[in-house]
Amino acid sequence: MHPGGRPLVAAVAAAAAVIRTATGRGTLAGALATAATAAFFRDPRRVRPPLDNVVLAAADGTVATVSDVLPPPELDLPPTPVCRVSVFLSVLDVHVQRIPVDGRVLAVEYRPGRFLSADLDKASEDNERSALLLETAGGVRLGVVQIAGLLARRIVCDVGPGDEVAAGETYGLIRFGSRVDVYLPPGSRVTVSVGQRTIGGETVLAELPGHGVS
| Active site positions, annotated | 178
Strands (E), the chain: 54-56, 61-69, 82-89, 96-98, 103-111, 129-135, 141-148, 155-157, 164-165, 170-174, 178-183, 189-190, 197-198, 204-207
Q: Closest Cα to residue 20, out of 30, 5, 33?
A: 30
Strand bridging mode 164-165 / 129-135: unpaired
> In one letter, which amino acid is 27?
T
Cα separation values, 17 from 22, 33, 36, 60, 124, Å: 9, 11, 16, 32, 40
Give the separation between CA 54 and CA 66, rounded to whole angstroms: 17
Task: Name the burial class of residue 28, with classes exposed (0-12), middle (13-18) and buried (19+) by CB atoms within 10 angstroms of its CB.
Answer: exposed
